[in-house]
Amino acid sequence: MVAERSVWYGGEPMKIKINELYSQLPPEWPRDPLPQIRQLVATSGVKIVVLDDDPTGTQTVYGVRVLTRWPVDELTKELLRPEPLVYLLTNSRSLPLKQAQALNREIAINLRSASQKTGRQFSLVSRSDSTLRGHFPGEVQALLEALDQPCDGIFIIPFFLEGGRYTIEDIHYVAEGEYLVPAAETEYARDATFGYKCSDLRQWVSEKYGGKVQAENVISIDIATLRQRGPEAVAASLEVLKDRQVCIVNAASYRDMEVFVAGLLQAEEHGKRFIFRTAASFVRVRGGLAPRGLLTPGELGCSPDRGGGLIIAGSYIQKSSAQIEALRVLPGVVSIEVDVPRLLNPSEREEVIAHAAKAAEDAITTGEAALVYTSRALVRGSDAVSSLEVGRLVSSALVGIVRSIDTAPAWVVAKGGITSSDVATRGLDVFRAEVLGQILPGVPVWRTAAESRWPGLVYVVFPGNVGGPQALAEVVRVLK
């Protein structure tokens, strides 16, 4: 373990300067585990299937396919492909719990059928938000129920370097400037649907299980093990897991994650079976993908001759609002605000959609970038379920705006997880896409497949909780 939790006051963790906390940590493990990971991934032949509860989970990978539907015949084709990774976009974070569970059961059952047909084994990753929002443990429980197979452990791994999310001493932190702030003290913990009170992940697990799992029964892999004892010690620690025991993985760097995965793969070679609830950084390492630089304008291939671009922004958090404001003053950007209270009024909804779509089309045809964004005052429902319904109505209106635009834009940016999922699947008819890489750290870029509404389109999936105030404007500058 690292130094005592001196950053706690009154039993609760407080924010601390990043360099102060990092100075307490041992040096990283000196040997690169990635070659060993690649070898173990290749020899195992196991396909890693990532169920992404919104499309932002592709924010660390490249050269990977995304499917938005999962019939058995398509999953069979994917299991026959040689790549170690495939993403299934579920968008389950936008659904009520029972619907999200039903969807996860359907995928697990179809994967079992595809696996039986191909003889290829698969490992499931339930990829969720790095700030701890989503249907946990509900989705994982549904997957395990449908798989009906032994499972030794359930891993919780919200580490996400690109977004400034770290787990140290079992406390999950969010980077804000030079400080690390315990996750429960951020705006993410006040989410209308997925709010929580605990930053200590052992306590968070107990909170999410409604007390049915006690914090003291949740084990963890600490940073001292990762940095001082290495993959073999991790593998030995995982041998004791059994009966779906929940395990927290601490990590403050990619090297920490690589050491963990190398040990994990050794444990799986010895017959241990696990399921994962993670953020995006784990997926890249689990797939054996090496780090890669940001995409260049040449790699994106966006030509100004194709007309203007389209930005659809639905995320309401403060970070997104600051980014929208910075983009609005960029030359060549036409701002189109969509009034949410009017959208929620049935008598005005269609008029608002039609007006925004026409303004966006006019901008695109003249070579400008159309920024369509929702009004910034957050409208909540009376409870968690009704708040989800408000979000669904707003997102469906944004989809309606996209579908009412006839002129193909040169590129599309969607801001916010649920927004980017609905725009992709319902606005652009994306069934398959390839992840090209990242345009900024944590901001993935897809290229749509031939059956999409606009084939070959560069589609930027911009998470709501990633980047500084100028990040959205910077993405548009690169695309333009």
Report the chain's terminal Cα–Cα distance, integer Å: 49
> Which residue do the tokens 């605000």 mark?
337
pLDDT tens digits for range 217-245? 999 999 999 999 999 999 999 999 999 99
Answer yes or no: is 67 within a domain.
Answer: yes
CATH classification of the domain holding 53? 3.40.50.10840
Mean pLDDT of 197-207: 97
Answer yes or no: is 211 within a domain.
Answer: yes
pLDDT tens digits for range 433-453? 999 999 999 999 999 999 999
Q: Which of 249, 266, 286 is the last residue of a domain?
A: 286
Mean pLDDT of 174-180: 93
Answer yes or no: is 2 within a domain.
Answer: no
pLDDT above 80 (res 38): yes
Residues 209 and 302 occupy one common structural domain: no
Answer yes or no: is 291 within a domain.
Answer: no
pLDDT of residue 8: 38
Which helix (H) or strand (E) covers residue 87, if one does? strand 85-89
Q: How far is CA 159 from the centre of its chain?
A: 11
Torsion of CA 302, 304, 308, 313, to 10 degrees: 30
Sign of CA dihedral 304, 451, 394, 377: negative
Residues 342 and 261 occupy one common structural domain: no
Number of neighbouring beta carbons within 10 Å of residue 1 = 12
pLDDT of residue 239: 95
Residues 369 and 279 occupy one common structural domain: no
Residues 455 and 354 occupy one common structural domain: yes
Residues 331 and 214 occupy one common structural domain: no
Structural domain of 460 = 297-479
- Domain tally, the chain: 2
Per the prediction, the chain carries an average pLDDT of 92
Residues 368 and 228 occupy one common structural domain: no
pLDDT of residue 11: 46
For 369, the token pair is: 């970038």
pLDDT of residue 71: 97
pLDDT tens digits for range 339-360? 988 988 999 999 999 999 999 9
Instruction: Using pLDDT thresholds of 50, 70 and 90, give the confidence band for residue 105.
Output: very high
DSSP string for 411-441: EEEEESHHHHHHIIIIIS--SEEEEEEEEET
Instruction: Using pLDDT thresholds of 50, 70 and 90, give the confidence band for residue 383.
Output: confident
Mean pLDDT of 134-160: 97
Counting Cα atoms < 13 Å in the Cβ hemisphere of 79 gives 23
Residues 306 and 266 occupy one common structural domain: no
C-alpha distance from residue 407 to each of 10, 55, 357, 477 (Å) = 59, 24, 11, 21
Instruction: Using pLDDT thresholds of 50, 70 and 90, give the confidence band for residue 15.
Output: confident
Residues 367 and 441 occupy one common structural domain: yes
Residues 18 and 158 occupy one common structural domain: yes
Residues 468 and 426 occupy one common structural domain: yes
Instruction: Using pLDDT thresholds of 50, 70 and 90, give the confidence band for residue 13.
Output: low
pLDDT above 90 (res 391): no
pLDDT above 50 (res 9): no
Q: Which of 225, 252, 286 is the last residue of a domain?
A: 286
